[in-house]
Amino acid sequence: MADYAQILKTATDEAQDFINNPSRLDQLLADLESKLADVPAIGSTLSELPVTISLVKSWIKKEYQVSPKVLATLVGAFLYLVKKKDLIPDSIPVIGIADDVAVVGLALKFVEPDLKAYKDWKAQQ
């Protein structure tokens, strides 16, 4: 059985590396947007991804502030979607994307109040 604490630490460290390098983070967002073009619509879980991408882009531009935990959660979810290290490979029809949706769903649940605040802020702009 995998050491989940170590996996989480490794993922958090990798997310932090991206957060500390805005140009690298911007490339990750571009890769994510490209990948989303190939993903079939799966309920409302993935429908919030454009908002999360926008939130991180606003953070990169220093237009919007968000807590480090929220940023790490979102970047970690983005990395999971873009990287080829899935629990279930995306090449397996239907269930290959299920783990991606689960990870994104958990991340979005965690940052739900922050996404609402960002949407409200964005609507006022």
Return the H-helix or E-strand segment holding 24: helix 22-36
> Taking 60 as the threshold, does the pLDDT of residue 2 lie above it?
no
Bigger pLDDT: 125 vs 40: 125
Provide the percentage of residues in the chain whose pLDDT is more than 70. 82
What confidence tier does 54 reach under pLDDT thresholds 50, 70, 90? very high
Cα three-residue angle 104-91-11, rounded to 5 degrees: 40
Residue 72's CB is within 10 A of a number of other CB atoms, namely 19
User: Would you kindly state where each structural domain of the chain is located, as residue ranges?
Assistant: 4-120
Summarised one tens digit per residue, pLDDT across range 5-33 is 777 778 788 888 888 998 888 888 888 77
Summarised one tens digit per residue, pLDDT across range 57-109 is 999 999 999 999 999 999 988 888 887 666 677 677 767 777 777 888 889 99
